Every structure is written in structure tokens, then in C-alpha cells.
Amino acid sequence: MGNPKHTEVSVARQSPQRPDADEPELDDTTASAEADEVEVDRPAADRALWDELRIDPVEIALPAGTGFTLRAYRPARELTPTDVAERDQDDPFLARRQVVEAEDDEEVVILDEEFAALAAEKDEDDEEPARRRRRGKADATDEDAEDAEAAEAAEAADEDGEEADEDEDEADAAGDEEVPVFLTHRGKLLLFKTPESLVSFIRSGAPNDLSQLDSWNELSERVEPADIAPLDEDTYELDLVVENLRGGHDAWDPTLLIEAGEIARDLSYALRLPAVLDMLSAGSSLDDLDEALRASVNGGIGGFMGRRRLKKIGAQTASLGWRTIVGKISAVVDWRD
């Protein structure tokens, strides 16, 4: 998958000049051979380590810079989510919102208690005349009432058993689903500006959320800076998304935007960012954008319909939404040199 940021390279071209007689003329074959030689000399990254340990290096570009991190996918039941308690305490807006919600809850509790007391008194007043009216009929209806209660209890027990089985099946399915986990710690994404600093951290034994993986110790013993070479599909350019969307429908880069959606969903899940998950959830405007982009890159009638759907999506709305997403992700990044 191409990398839009790195493919936009402009080369200054000059009008060809007649070579001097003393200088040998290089033909196209020679130049092509030299270019091929350069490509051959470029070493390919060894993927054996990452394939074996099922962990991948990732490169993420944000407005504040570009950094390297790690990502893995594991069944949800095998992972302990990152602890966001400390991060939320440092968020003044979240802390203030929690105080307001707590005050609101206290007021509701007081009102509920007063209402419950008044309702109890009313029920007791209404119950006495009703009790007198029912006294003469009690003996005749006791047996019927007991039978009805028994039938209702049996039916409720069956329904509870069916619901419990369904809940257990859903829990098993959710536990088996593979979910993303990144190199994070206490609700922060650790991003390293150089491969050397990332490797140094891995070897240091410092606490992080990836250390719960059974392959982490082996990675810390074997990884080298040369191994930190993310694939094109593991390179994400969130710093370009907003500007690209502002350029209008004709300028939108499907590859850039689709990949941005993928990494944003993974990060929002791993970092426990419910606001971002909601913005990208099924049925949202940004999810509609993602679906239309995916359809537009296909040929045939599907691609045609996808491009028509894209024209109905507001560029300003999309760019504002993505600016919020990039801002929320940037706010939970811990940059490491």
C-alpha cells in the first residue's frame, strides 16, 4: 500500500545540455543500471522476528512529530486494559465534569428518598380500606393466587436461564475477539523519535502494557534498531488528514484517509477513548465517509456509487471531526527521545 507522504517528491528538471567533448556521455542504459544498483544495495527489513512474536513496529505521524511504537493483536480475554485512572486525574475538564455529575447524583438521591417516603405514606393510607374490602374474599382467592405466582415464578426462571445462556455465549465470543494493544503505560501512548530510543526502552524493563504478552521477554532480548522498520501498511500519517479533507472532494486521498481511520479506531480502543470510538462508530458521519471511500476505490458500479456518496459529505464537517480526533489522540501521547 502506497505511502502518500513519501511519494510526493518533486525533482527539479533542467533542459538537456550538450556534453563537452572530453566528458563521456551517459546513455539511459547506464543511468538505469546505476538506479537499479542503488535499489539492490538497500537492505530489506527482516520480518522473521515480528512474524514469530506477532508484534509489529508502527510509525505514526502527528502534528507534533513522527514517532515509532509497537502494536499487537490478541484475544480480549488475554489482555488487561491500560489503566487510565492517573490520566483522567490529570484532565481538568474530565475532573470538573465528574464533580458536576456527582453533585447531580446527590440531588437526585435526595429527591428519590423524599418521593419514596411520600409514596410509602400514600400506599399505606390507600391500603387500609382496600384491605377491609378484600378480607371477605381472601379465603376464596388464596389458592388461585398461589397457583398464579408459582406459574409466574417458573416462567421467570426459564427466561432467566435463557438470558444467562445468551449472555455467556456473548461473553465467550467477545473474549475470543482479537483486539489491538499498543506500547502504552497508564493510558498514554509511548512514541519514540528514533529506533534506537525505542529499542533502548524495550530492553530497559520499564513497565508498559505490552509486557503482559508472553513474547515480550524474547523481544527484549533479540530486537535491534535495524528491526524497527515498519511496513507501508503500518505507517500512518494523521498529520495530513485534516489538510487533505480541507482540500475538497477532488483532493481527498482514499488511502491516507482509510488508513487514518484504521489506526484511530485501534488507538481509541487500546487507549480507552470512548469519545473517539463514538465519532467513528457505525452510522456516524465519519464512518459514512470511510465506507464511501472504501467503495470509491473499487471498480464498477460500487465505485461509482461510492464516489456519488462522497460528494454528499461535507468537507468542512469531515475536517472538523478529524481535527477533534487527532487532537484527542495527540493529548494522550507520551513522547520519548
Instruction: Tell me the pLDDT tens digit for each residue of 85-95.
Output: 988 776 655 54
Which of 283, 316, 296 is closest to 255 using CA atoms? Answer: 296
pLDDT for position 88: 78
pLDDT tier at 176, thresholds 50, 70, 90: confident
- The C-alpha atoms of residue 174 and residue 76 are separated, in whole angstroms, by 7
Burial of 216 (0-12, 13-18, 19+ CB in 10 A): middle
Q: Which of 184, 212, 217, 204 is nearest to 70 (CA)?
A: 184
What is the distance between the alpha carbons of residues 199 and 196, in angstroms, rounded to a whole number?
A: 5
- Per cent of the chain over pLDDT 90 is 57
Query: What integer is the mean pLDDT of 173-180?
Result: 83
Q: Give the phi and the psi of residue 148 in degrees, each rounded to 5.
A: -65, -40
pLDDT at 98 over 90: no
Position 2 confidence tier, pLDDT thresholds 50, 70, 90: very low
Residue 49 has pLDDT above 90, yes or no: yes
Structure pTM? 0.66
Q: Which of 26-35, 53-62, 170-179, 299-308 has the highest mean pLDDT?
A: 53-62
List, for residues 268-316, the tens digit of each pLDDT value: 999 999 999 999 999 999 999 999 999 999 888 888 899 999 999 999 9
Query: From CA 328, how far away is CA 217, in angstroms rounded?
Result: 31
Amino acid, single-letter form, for residue 304 = F
Average pLDDT over residues 144-165: 65
Task: State residue 127's pLDDT score.
Answer: 52
**Percent of the chain at pLDDT above 70?**
62
Out of 73-77, 125-129, 195-199, 228-232, least confident range: 125-129
Per-residue model confidence as pLDDT tens digits over 182-215: 999 999 999 999 999 999 999 999 999 999 999 9
- pLDDT tens per residue across span 319-332: 999 999 999 999 99
Read off the pLDDT of residues 287-296 as tens digits, 9 standing for 90 and up.
Answer: 999 999 999 9
